[in-house]
Amino acid sequence: QKEVEQNSGPLSVPEGAIASLNCTYSDRGSQSFFWYRQYSGKSPELIMFIYSNGDKEDGRFTAQLNKASQYVSLLIRDSQPSDSATYLCAAYSNTGNQFYFGTGTSLTVIP
Amino acid sequence: DAGVIQSPRHEVTEMGQEVTLRCKPISGHNSLFWYRQTMMRGLELLIYFNNNVPIDDSGMPEDRFSAKMPNASFSTLKIQPSEPRDSAVYFCASSPTGLNQPQHFGDGTRLSIL
């Protein structure tokens, strides 16, 4: 079992819809969570980070964290074709001071 | 502000040659990370430094890989001798302090070993 798991997709949504990306983690010591966007051939770009249970909003992006259920999600409202990319979930665990990346979910926003 | 700067952007070399990748972290960031990304294995953390000191190198695949950080503004990742299976994109990232803070990535070095 991988420490951070994501559905590899591809996930396709129409332009203007809400895209929902999900991530689960196995290490209960995980306390910090990050979402990165990676365009093909480019480097990962930080979108959001969340440390506390609940929702955190930044523009069209909302990160949601539920530590009891060990999942973290990213919602993208009013999806645009430029949001088409791979989204990577990452988690930091203070159990052994470890950092894990998921394998990413490919998102395509259809015009 | 300048981001993380990596060089070279592309490197093509023959098996057995020494390869050196370079990284300049964001000024003021105390932690530096080296990653490798492949289709098969995704993003793997190879090693990270805190205040120029290697903290965890458990991700370094073999003794052929070594990394140094002689000062706060420069780090190298060296592969000697290189093998075709080392072909990947290598990223350097930095954060203000440690693994629990957001990391900012450089543009990466695309390495091809023939």
Are A88 and A44 in contact by the 8 Å Cβ rule? The answer is yes
- Span A14-65, pLDDT tens digits: 999 999 999 999 998 999 999 999 999 999 999 999 999 999 999 999 999 9
Q: What is the pLDDT of residues B28-68, one digit of tens each?
A: 999 999 999 999 889 999 999 999 999 999 999 889 999 99
Nearest CB among B42, B44, B99 relative to A92 is that of B99
Closest chain A residue to the Cα of B4, Cα to Cα? A43
Residue B36 confidence (pLDDT)? 97
Measured at the CA of B36, the angle between CA B92 and CA B41, to 5 degrees, comes to 150
Q: Which residues contact B41 (CB under 8 A, 6 or more apart)?
A: none
Q: Which of A43, A94, A101 sits opposite B107 (nearest CB)?
A: A43
Average pLDDT of chain B, as a whole number: 95
Longest dimension (CA), chain A: 44
Examine the pLDDT at B1 and tell me if it is beyond 70. no
CA-closest candidate to residue B104, choices A91, A63, A45, A41? A45
| Model pLDDT for residues A67-80, shown as the tens digit of each residue | 999 999 999 999 99
Question: Mean pLDDT across the stretch B87-102?
Answer: 95
Of all helices (H) and strands (E), which one includes residue B83? none
Phi/psi for B85 (5° steps) reads -70, -5
Q: Is-contact A95 B34, C-beta < 8 A? A: no
Mean pLDDT taken over chain A: 94
Q: Which residues of A touch B96 (CB under 8 A)?
A: none
Separation CA B112–CA B14 (nearest Å): 8
Which residues from chain A sit within 8 angstroms of residue B56, using beta carbons?
97
Nearest partner of A18 among A74, A87, A72, judged by Cα: A74
